[in-house]
A and B are shown apart, each in its own frame.
Chain A
Amino acid sequence: MGRLLLSEWERVWQRKFTVFLLLAYICLMFIMTMFLKTFGEQTIFYTPLEKETLNSLNFMWFSLKEMSIFLAIVIFPILFFESLIGEYASGAYRMVLIRPYERWKFLLSKWVNQALLIILFLLITFIYSIIAGKIFFPEAHAVTLYHDPSLHSELEAYLYAFKFYGVFLIIQLAALALSSMIAAIINSAVFSFLLLIGFYFGVLYLSSGKIKFFVLPYQTIFNILSGHGSLLEVLLIFIILISGYAFSLLYWMKRDFLV
């Protein structure tokens, strides 16, 4: 199983596009920082009505807030579908399936690898935000949080950042479960990409903006961490998480890979 994981990881990084995505993401983060520094006047918005001043501590989670839409809609779907559908559609995956592992272990190795990729991107964002926060934004030793005007110490700030990134990770794992379910049924990469993006925006539109954690994850995360999280969203995240993985495992086991 470990060797399967390693082989999957190698195959992900052998594709030059993954490296390109990572570098482009870091460039974009830098451009975002420069924009916030020169034109942002050190204010950043939780919602169009509520704002906050940027400092070196809260830049940790505000940098993820700014990049979250790009990650959720562009970068992670590319990575998910390249792994889940790309190899299957081109026929290259048959060479991997020759190896003597049980069928479900292959799917599990894909999931673990994609989860590790998500964690890698989040780690890079975190490290970048700490460094850039110290360089570009005013030094702070206490922060205020969303709907919580009392001051919190540095340690509490790091804890909040960890929770922020953690909830975003869970939301993206639900997105991975959804992508996995789509990829298990549909063989065309174009259609599945369209279906995923269409599902994200369709759910947002049909629920009149109540279910927004796919497209606008940061609003949901701020709400959840301040205690005002909507039960509907949290329930939906866990339902998608569990049912997505269960259904895709079921379809994967029955699938004929020799086409």
Chain B
Amino acid sequence: MRLLISECERLFSRKLIWLLYLAIPLSAFGALQYHLKRNHEVGITSPEYSSVYTFPVNALHEMLPFFFNLFLLVLIVLSVTEEYRGGELRLILIRQYSKAEVFFAKLGAVWLLLLAGLLLFYLSSQIIGWLALTKVNAIYLFYHQETFSVSEVFFYIIKFYLLTLVTLSVLIFVFFWIAIISPRVTVAMGLGIGYLFLSITFDIIMGIIQTHVNSPNLLVLFLMNFTITRVEFQGIHLMLANPFNFMFFSLVLAVYLLLFGMLSFFYFTKKDYYY
């Protein structure tokens, strides 16, 4: 427990983290600018229309692949690679905690900061939406035919944010593994951004392949939805649409969790930190 608090303190003491938290309301404001323009193009009956009630979901959906992935990458690189290669991690290992406990403490600290970031984003987007956008009575959501009332949309928002938290938690393990195998901080940042870039490229390429193979090819369909960025771009909306999608994407996330969870855990605990 004390280790967790010390990890959180150390992360919070970095000025870059304060800057990122300051950027969260700004990104919500940026999403507002985009949606104000978009609201004119699509009508009130489109799911893309952001009213006061759907703005938190739409804004998060815009900012998720670009802002929160980088937010997470920066958190993890600062927590793991910089301390490891800068020699600070040895000072933590002097304390009578095992490497596994340090691993879980770092994980917990990053997760708590991510939670705080998501809450801050929800608050700022809700406040900004309440100030700038219109109230509507019947709300249309992605992949749903019927309209929703205000209280139903509120539960949708909670579910959406929970699923985003789950998706980003899986991404934490991926970035953790990248951070621990990198010999330098620049390499960690580059590999992280390269992973996101290749992931998005893979989705686009699979989409192009999909249009070229005849008859819904199961393998291509499966591979198309297999990346975390795909889950971020469309998967969460699809998961909340019907149970089959929910099971499928949960399976995808579980595979990533298992693979990268084990990779990052074993790399972290088996490394020699005392040089």
Contacts and interface: CB of A to CB of B under 8 A. Distances in A.
A191 B187 contact: no
A78 B205 contact: no
A17 interface: yes
Interface in A177-235: 188-191, 193-194, 197, 201, 205
B197 A78 contact: no
Given A73-B197, A190-B82, A190-B185, A78 B16 contact: no
A74 B16 contact: no
B78 A35 contact: no
Contacts of A16: 183
A194 B74 contact: yes
Interface in A86-122: 86, 89-90
Contacts of B184: 17, 82, 86, 90, 189
A78 B208 CA distance: 29
B183 A190 contact: no
Contacts, number: 63
A247 interface: no
A13 interface: no
A189 B208 contact: no
A133 interface: no
A77 B209 CA distance: 30
B186 interface: yes
A189 B192 CA distance: 14
Main secondary structure of the interface of B (DSSP, over half): helix
Given A73-B197, A74-B194, A194-B74, A189 B186 contact: yes
Interface residues of B, number: 24
Contacts of A39: 208-209, 212
A61 to B, nearest CB: 20
B235 to A, nearest CB: 23
Contact of A190 (B30, B189, B197, B201): B189
A29 interface: no
B2 to A, nearest CB: 26
Interface of B: 16, 30, 66, 70, 74, 77-78, 82, 85, 183-187, 189-190, 193-194, 197, 201, 205, 208-209, 212
Interface of A: 15-17, 35, 39, 41, 69-70, 73-75, 77-78, 81-82, 85-86, 89-90, 188-191, 193-194, 197, 201, 205
Q: What 3 A-B pairs come out closest when comparing CB atoms?
A: A78-B190, A193-B189, A189-B185
